[in-house]
Amino acid sequence: MPAPVIEERDTDYPFSQHISPPLTGEFHTYVRTFHMLPGVAGNHSEGPRMTWHRTSGLGLAALLCMLVVLPAEGEICGDAVCSYRFVVRRARTMTHTRTVQGREQNNQVSITNDGHLELFTTLTLDRNRDDVNGTRVSADDVITADGVQRNVILVNGQFPGPAIEVMEGAQVAVTVVNQLMTDAITIHWHGLHMRNTPWMDGVPSVTQCPIMPHESFTYRFRAFPAGTFYYHSHMSSQMADGLFGALIIHNSQTTIPSFPLLLNDWYHEEAETLDIASKYNLYHSGAGQFEHAAPSGGYSVDGIEISIRQFVSALINGRGRYKSNKAPLSKFTVEEGQKIRIRLIHAGGDHNFKVSIDQHALRVLASDGHDINPLTVDAIIVSPGERFDFEIDASASPDLYWIRTETLREGTCVTCSSKNITITPDDIIEDARAVLVYQGSSSDEDPTSQARQCTPETPCIFLNCPFEGYPEDRQIVCISIADTSKPTSPQDYAVEDEDVEEYFLNFGFYGGTNINGHRFLPPTAPLYQSPRTNMIIPCPLENCQQGCKCTHILDLPFNKTIQLVIASYQTWRFANTHHNIHVHGYTFDVVAMGYPSFDRTTGVFRDSNPDIVCSNEKCTVVTWRQGSPSLNVKNAPQKDTVLIPAHGYTVVRFRSDNPGFWFLHCHQSIHLAEGMAMVLNVAADRHLAPPSGFPKCGNFSWGEEEYEAAVSGVWPPNQKEPARHETWELVVAVLGSAAGGAAIAAGLTMWLQKRRNSKT
């Protein structure tokens, strides 16, 4: 029996409404299936979806065997194959949808002074409708974000998108349907290796063609490794509009309850507007109205500007507050005495955040999905793209407690010169908050809890500081991520490799955000297409020491230990920042980290780390001053996204055993959009071909001769009569492939050659 041909047509009507199958002149059997795409707290639900499955001929029985039930939100899929369908579209925040007299009605939502949501409209209503103004609605039925209305990207009607939770090793299939009307999309599965399926990595024009409006694309990959990951758009800064969600891969060791905590920056302009307005736009400089004019922005304690992009607000699981409004916040309920695992995911694109929970210690278990030897801290500093798993003990007095996420802003720069930097503290707090609710406590009011005070007897411990330390009088101890370790046993210890290949990558600002002077211009088509030379803008042979824009590709050999020295050095000490670097396709070991020296009274950095020196005037090439420092090659922590200290460096290692084109970039969205990226071409001779039917795209042009042939009706050009020799060649090929046809094929080939020679 032939395999069924399946065609899906979706409708969003309620179950009670009778729907006929799509009309067709062909004979087919249709089967209706329903699956729920429920919302999470604070989000809309797409509701029940009806899918018509069209089967050809007698394929109905086979189809019935193939039907799967899509996992519900928050449910762990334990199947060998886990299938999902993501419908991506835009909507408006602070909008409510309801049914009135059988008709859908959408209204705007306002926030009262006491935190309730009320409908309002400026439209003239039908005489048969009641006035909606003042009607209170539940926060669970409104996507509020920070309480200010703007466009948002939804996945299956949800913001953030629905969580995917599967078992390690499962085959995951996600069909992404683009309903954005005018924008293309791709989805990157942040932290997954995509081994043997590198074209599923989701980088536009590097691994795949963008998914155009009205198109769909099915990602299919292995769920590996286990841990906390997430998915997000990789089309420029589009992620900032809401296209992201948690991706949790479980293993048999999962024992305690857990929930994701997704943190992101939030703006009142769409991402494309922010990119167009950027003063450092890769293609055309904008006015910069959404950026700080140096040195008027916020600075961290070490005298480094935290972000050139102006902070507006931030969200936790899709909720936050703009300034002092009373928009609803995300709430996490725990039972007294319970242990809970929180999966912290920074899905934003600009600011680093310090995360803490009032009166609760954080027992950190993993970073970027990979276990570390547990350590207890008071706060975690997390940069865009990083994830941390931590446990809390619900052993405090049953009450409400603030979950705090604050940027690293300490104040403004008063004296900002190459010789002296002075930071004056201000009272500006840039944060997002959520609420930890002990079961049984009233959650109608905001918490009144306070953060723990740091004292000489019990100093506070912060993990993952991008600098070496705070001023001594702050009583804060910083732990570098490089000072953590992965759990190992003696037999797991690695030996120092002899086949190390070392590469220096300096993330600088000369001539715009760059890597070794290169500002990345994306290919015009995926690099898996051929010929590749027509898709890229080659980099000059002089290595762009004076700066350039090109398709920056670094070729790496197969199965070597690759050591990347990732630096952040500038010739002008004032112009620098902390970068957070993500490497696609790999997990790397963080074997060393070097910080600049700093003033232990003020916390401000003094001099760049002396281990590295600039090799040219623009500092687009760097190298070791006197050889590499000592490296932890035995039990180094494993990550895929890591903070790089300003005026310092981080050394990472991985084994180049995963062939493919892998993106490497700064995960600050403003830096990525400005060209701070490159491609690692690992084992070029071992790349796997994409699956059959894999989409192709790229530039198109045609010449004058073809145009004239088309308008004159002679098409294709230069083909005025059928090419008979091509028909004979087809006959030769068919006979040659048939059993016993070799002799006939050889004879026809000779005859055909003589025929051609006689014509010439």
Q: What share of the chain is helix, strand, coil (3-state, %, to 5)?
A: 10, 35, 50
Handedness of CA 669, 673, 676, 681 (dihedral sign): positive
The least confident of 30-34, 366-370, 544-548, 607-611 is 30-34
Q: Comparing C-alpha atoms, which of 299, 541, 276, 508 is closest to residue 407? A: 299
User: Is pLDDT larger for residue 424 or for residue 175?
Assistant: 175
Phi, psi of 52 (to 5 degrees): -90, 120
Phi, psi of 495 (to 5 degrees): -100, 155
Measure the CA–CA gap between 644 and 664, rounded to whole angstroms.
14
pTM of the model: 0.85
Instruction: Give the three-class secondary structure for 216.
Output: strand
Burial 217-226 (b: 16+ CB within 10 A, else e): bebebbbebb
Q: Comparing C-alpha atoms, which of 502, 501, 514, 537 is closest to residue 620? A: 514
**What is the share, in percent, of the chain residues with pLDDT greater than 70?**
81
Phi, psi of 275 (to 5 degrees): -65, -45
Token reading at 678: 């490159």
C-alpha atoms less than 13 angstroms from C-alpha of 107 in its C-beta half-sphere: 25
The CA–CA distances, whole Å, from 112 to 115, 120, 141 equal 5, 12, 16
Measure the CA–CA gap between 45 and 47, rounded to whole angstroms.
5
The least confident of 102-106, 485-489, 633-637, 656-660 is 485-489
Measure the CA–CA gap between 11 and 201, rounded to whole angstroms.
30
Using left for φ > 0, alpha for ψ between -120 and 50, and beta otherwise, residue 722 falls in beta
| Bridge partners, 95 (sequence order) | 108
Tokens 């310092």 locate to 648
pLDDT of residue 13: 29
Measure the CA–CA gap between 91 and 151, rounded to whole angstroms.
6
Provide the 8-state DSSP code for 195: T
Token reading at 571: 């010739």
Token reading at 731: 């006959």
What mean pLDDT, rounded, does the chain reach?
85
* pLDDT tens by residue, 245-268: 999 999 977 678 899 999 999 999
Measure the CA–CA gap between 215 and 176, rounded to whole angstroms.
8
Instruction: Give the three-class secondary structure for 634.
Output: coil
- Residue type for 727, please? T
The least confident of 29-38, 436-445, 678-687 is 29-38
Contact criterion met (CB below 8 Å) for 134 and 93: no
The whole-number average pLDDT for the span 50-79 is 49
Token reading at 99: 């049914």
Task: Flag whether pLDDT at 417 surpasses 50.
Answer: yes
The whole-number average pLDDT for the span 392-406 is 96
pLDDT of residue 32: 32
Token reading at 160: 């953030």
pLDDT of residue 570: 84
pLDDT of residue 679: 97
Measure the CA–CA gap between 205 and 525, rounded to whole angstroms.
5
pLDDT of residue 99: 87
Within 8 A by CB and 6+ apart from 124, the residues are none
Going by pLDDT thresholds of 50, 70 and 90, the confidence category of residue 502 is very high
Token reading at 251: 């293993």
The whole-number average pLDDT for the span 156-175 is 97
Mean pLDDT comparison of 77-86, 714-723, 731-740, highest-scoring range: 77-86
Token reading at 239: 């992620």
| DSSP codes, 274-307 | HHHH-TT-SSS----TTB--TTSS-B-TTS-BS-
Measure the CA–CA gap between 280 and 289, rounded to whole angstroms.
12
Task: Flag whether pLDDT at 6 surpasses 70.
Answer: no
Provide the 8-state DSSP code for 199: G
Contact criterion met (CB below 8 Å) for 677 and 520: yes
Q: Comparing C-alpha atoms, which of 50, 43, 5 is closest to residue 24? A: 5
Instruction: Give the three-class secondary structure for 686.
Output: helix
Task: Flag whether pLDDT at 387 surpasses 90.
Answer: yes
pLDDT of residue 256: 85
Burial 434-444 (b: 16+ CB within 10 A, else e): bbbbbeebeee
| Bridge partners, 88 (sequence order) | 155, 178
Task: Flag whether pLDDT at 741 surpasses 60.
Answer: no
Going by pLDDT thresholds of 50, 70 and 90, the confidence category of residue 755 is low
What are the start-end ranges of the E strands in 74-163? 81-92, 95-100, 103-111, 117-120, 136-137, 151-155
Provide the 8-state DSSP code for 481: G
The CA–CA distances, whole Å, from 608 to 510, 570, 649 equal 17, 9, 10
Q: Comparing C-alpha atoms, which of 355, 354, 263, 280 is closest to residue 315? A: 263
Measure the CA–CA gap between 167 and 314, rounded to whole angstroms.
31
Going by pLDDT thresholds of 50, 70 and 90, the confidence category of residue 749 is low
pLDDT of residue 7: 34
Mean pLDDT comparison of 12-21, 198-207, 563-572, 597-606, highest-scoring range: 198-207
| DSSP codes, 239-264 | GGGT-EEEEEEE-TT--S-EEEEEEE
pLDDT of residue 8: 38
Provide the 8-state DSSP code for 533: G
- Residue type for 55, please? T
Task: Flag whether pLDDT at 674 surpasses 70.
Answer: yes
| DSSP codes, 700-724 | ----HHHHHHHHTT--STT-SS--H
Query: Dihedral angle at the C-alpha atoms of 401, 406, 411, 417, nearest 10 degrees?
Result: 160
The CA–CA distances, whole Å, from 424 to 282, 309, 590, 717 equal 33, 20, 34, 73
- Residue type for 212, please? M
**What is the share, in percent, of the chain residues with pLDDT greater than 90?**
66
